[in-house]
Structure 1
Amino acid sequence: MDSSSQSQSQELLFDFPPFLRQYKDGRVERLKGTDTVPPSTDPSSAGGVASKDVLISPQSGLSARLYLPKSKSKSSQPTKLPLLVYYHGGGFVIESAFSPTYHAFLNALVAQANVVAVSVDYRLAPEHPLPIAYHDSWAALQWAGSHSTGRGPEPWLNDHVDFDRVYLAGDSAGANIVHNMCTRAAAAAAAADGALKIAGSVLIHPYFWGSERVGSEMEDPESRAAIERTWKFACPGSAGCDDPLINPAKDPNLRGLGLGCGRVLVCVAEKDIFRERGRLYFEALGGCGWNGVVEFLETQDEGHVFHLFNPDSDKAKEFIKEVGLFLNRH
């Protein structure tokens, strides 16, 4: 390697602390969110929840981790359960469906809610910039829906899922994906193209933003500019933070969400930088003429995705309980 190439390989193109660095030679160094754990082939070691990994698309490498609760892992009873399609967070640039953090969280949520879950491992930016994660997320949802006739490739979904009770959920960037999947489902329903019907969605500390400050949101121009830079890093084709992909309040078609989803739970944390955006989203849904039911859950004295960082806390356990109750209300 000549000196100019070596210099370029060490020169930063983009620094996204504490998540990753990208160098001018194209190399990406992820600083966290890279660890993985295997699925739980022994349900007794995971609170009774069994899990396994599936390849959805050999062409793209899109895959997912499936979870089956204790009530089904050793049962042949005909009663079927809700399906939860889950999208992990990580700013669109780190984490995976196979990380220790999300494996533990999905085990806990599936056990609490008694649902079958598909945790989607969408491709990450910057190697795969947005909208690729949205395309992968939609493909995974369509793959799950292909089991609604009982003739899909995955027996767990054929045998154990009630496709009249399909829910989407995600945290942070994953919650952003949930919103965008619901609006896409609305458009698909309007076009009568046979898209999977979504009963409800859960947006946990959603990664939304905008150019104009709302509520008690931070004023510091440098901090706000940093958030906009990181969004443009993940989605270089975006016009900025008023793009409806990250600022649903600017989406003139928001009311159409009711075609793709009938119930929404918006979750925020009091000390989260994105709290005000979650509240704005809740208010926008309630005031846009959307013919659905929206609920709001705020956790006091906690920050962004606190339930992932401190899963054994009383507040995290109560939070998972509340999400489970939402998933089981008709």
Structure 2
Amino acid sequence: MGSLSAVAADANPVVDDYSPYFRVYKDGSVERLRAEEHTPASLDPRTGVESKDIAISAVVSARIYLPPDGGDSGRKLPLVLYFRGGGFCVLSAASPVLHAHLNALAAASSVIVLSVDYRRAPEHSIPVPYDDSWAALHWAASHSAGLAEIDFDFSPESWLVEHADFDKVYLAGDSAGGNIAHNLAMRAATLPLPGGVKLAGIVLLEPYFWGTRPTASAAAADPVKRARLDRLWRVVCPASEAGNDDPLVNPLAARAPSLAVLGCGRVLVCTAERDAMRDWAWMYYEALRESGWRGESEIYEAAGEDHGFYLHRPDGDCAALLLKRIAAFLA
């Protein structure tokens, strides 16, 4: 007879191993394998961007960034709601790599950034990250009418009231965050936002789009990375019957709604030459242009780079060029 620990392991085996980040067990429990790093909100001496953490609801928080030209100029600034990547599963609004990236983005683009800390899968599976992100967008848009006219469940944010231009509201995100930005723009096509706020555009940084269709970029990727991508949607959305051809992860699937209804006026898709999801970004861009959607679309590819290069090497030339392209789009 085996030991008690061996018997317990046999009764509740690991069904998904995403080491070194987490494991999922047969009973649905999740074991986080390492503590997340956190960087406090602060005045960034390098960029002059100021940040602070705020509560949006009982379960959703955010970190907001104000560029140095936002406080004294008197002019209103574009507002970018940013959704982090990490496969819906790792990182937070306080992660050092994300914090540095958004300080740089706010400074380069002269925009207010609201970095949404949605609840993470697998503990909170899809659609929770979408619903949390939509709640943050709804809350932000509520500021468009001014403090006196809105009954907030949670405290309003003075930086939004004083400095945000609600005629220039954008959604942006990297990887899984790009997936969220797309799906929220689809939702915004049919669900009105407070104050009649409309989305000006979305920025999709290496968006997490996937499917069963073979692609050259997936075939060229590291086999371990490709296998994890093949399994990821089942981990974050176990209730999905369509798997990797769920329209939420594959916007080109047969049952996906037409991209013609995308609820914004402009789209910037950014990808990288060596990214396993590169071809999906290009197919999305081309399908959007052919769908009958009446907006303006752009695509940018970073030569020689892989997924997340702007997070891992933020001081590199390619990261600087990417920020410049995003800043031009948001101007």
Amino acid at match of 1:261: C
Shift of 1:254: 1.6
The Cα shift of 1:293 comes to 0.5
Greater shift in the superposed pair: 288-297 or 4-13: 4-13
Give the CA deviation at 1:7.
Answer: 3.4
1:138 counterpart = 2:140? no
Cα distance change on mapping 1:31 and 1:278 into 2, 3 Å: farther
Pick from 63, 85, 93: which aligns with 2:89?
93
Letter in 1 for 2:63: R
Does 2:206 align with 1:205? yes
Q: 1:33 to 1:146 in 2, by over 3 A?
A: farther
Partner of 2:204, secondary structure, is: strand
Evaluate the alpha carbon distance shift between residue 50 and residue 277 of structure 1 in structure 2; reply closer, same or farther with a 3 A threshold. Answer: same
Contact in 1 for aligned 2:203/2:267 (Cα 8 Å): yes
Could you tell me which residue of structure 1 aligns to residue 51 of structure 2? 51
Q: Which residue of 2 aligns with 1:122?
A: 118
- Give SS of 1:212's match: coil
Measure, in 2, the Cα distance between the counterparts of 1:267 and 1:277.
11
Counterpart selection for 2:162 from 152, 156, 159: 159
Q: Aligned with 2:266: secondary structure?
A: strand
Q: 2:104 aligns with which of 84, 105, 108?
A: 108
Shift of 1:213: 1.3
Quote the residue 2:18 is aligned against. 16
Number of aligned positions between the proteins: 318
User: Secondary structure of 1:166's match?
Assistant: strand
Q: Percent identity?
A: 50
CA distance in 2, matches of 1:25, 1:4: 16
Q: Which residue of 2 aligns with 1:248?
A: 251
Q: Which residue of 2 aligns with 1:81?
A: 77
Distance in 1 (CA, whole Å) between partners of 2:68 and 2:132 is 29
Question: Which one of 181, 185, 200 corresponds to residue 184 of structure 2?
Answer: 181
Q: Structure 1: which amino acid aligns with 2:113?
A: A
Q: Is the 8 A contact 1:286 1:294 kept in 2?
A: yes
Matched, 1:303 2:306: yes
Gaps of 5+ in 1: none
> Is the partner of 1:324 in helix, strand or coil?
helix
Unaligned runs of 5+ in 2: 151-155
> TM-score, normalised on structure 2?
0.89
- Counterpart code for 1:247: N
Letter in 2 for 1:255: A
- Alpha-carbon distance change, 181 to 275 in structure 1, aligned in 2, over 3 angstroms: same
User: Structure 2 CA distance, aligned partners of 1:230 and 1:210?
Assistant: 11
